[in-house]
Amino acid sequence: MTNATALATGSTREQILAVARGFIETRSYLGFSFQDVADAVGVRKASLYHHFPTKEALGVAVIRGATQGFKDWDAARTREPKDALESYFRMYRNTLRAGSGMCPAGAVAPGWGVINDELRLAVQELRNTQVTWLTGVLGALMPERKTGASVASLAAYVFSVCQGALLSARMTGRVDDFDEAIAQLRSSLPG
């Protein structure tokens, strides 16, 4: 469901989540207020507190939704490992809108020192979910790797490069910057 669809058809809670996710992806977690969300949804700010007692609680719900979205994205596909990895790169490029958006977890990281532990844990869960998934895919692509630790390190590297490529493309507004970074990543991967 797109943000526009959620706004047109979703419950107030779904609308709040869709707007907040859009703000997080394009403004960062620190770049919007409850009032911004209320204005975009068309409700009074006090109504937001009925659904989310704090901005952190709203952030946690957005990040947990992104984690579940990733799990659903993976479960919906049966792919060969190489196709799965390419699909992952496309998801970053297209779903997360390279050049104009950021991964919700990456967009929360700049405020790491001022967010609460529950939001930090939700962000870490999203990262760990993706790194674990990447470890399985890369392990299947490179069965000759001797230890799971080296595959897990490579998975963390792939995740980091994807996050950095999104950030770089966001800075320039150029999808090509994302594509160029991912092309370099592909060429550095074995197999």
- Tens digit of pLDDT for each residue in 118-129? 999 999 999 999
Whether residue 86 contacts residue 165, with contact meaning beta carbons closer than 8 Å, is answered with no
- Banded pLDDT at 190 (limits 50, 70, 90): confident
Residue 164 has pLDDT above 50, yes or no: yes
What domain range includes position 57?
A: 3-188
Tens digits of per-residue pLDDT, 6-60? 455 679 999 999 999 999 999 999 999 999 999 999 999 999 999 999 999 999 9
- 89-94 long-range contacts (CB < 8 A, ≥24 apart) are 89/162, 89/182, 89/186, 92/162, 92/165, 92/166, 92/178, 92/182, 93/175, 93/178, 93/179, 93/182
pLDDT at position 65: 97
- Gap between the Cα atoms of 157 and 7, Å rounded: 36
Residue 179 has pLDDT above 70, yes or no: yes
Tens digits of per-residue pLDDT, 123-152? 999 999 999 999 999 999 987 765 667 899
For residues 104-118, average pLDDT: 94
Residue 3 has pLDDT above 80, yes or no: no
pLDDT at position 2: 44
| CATH for 101 | 1.10.357.10
Say whether 23 sits in a helix, a strand or coil: helix
pLDDT at position 144: 75
pLDDT at position 74: 83
pLDDT at position 78: 74
Question: Considering the entire predicted model, what is its pTM?
Answer: 0.90
What does the mean pLDDT of the chain come to?
Answer: 91
Residue that wins the pLDDT comparison between 83 and 76: 83
* Count: domains in the chain: 1
Residue 170 has pLDDT above 70, yes or no: yes
pLDDT at position 5: 45
Residue 182 has pLDDT above 60, yes or no: yes
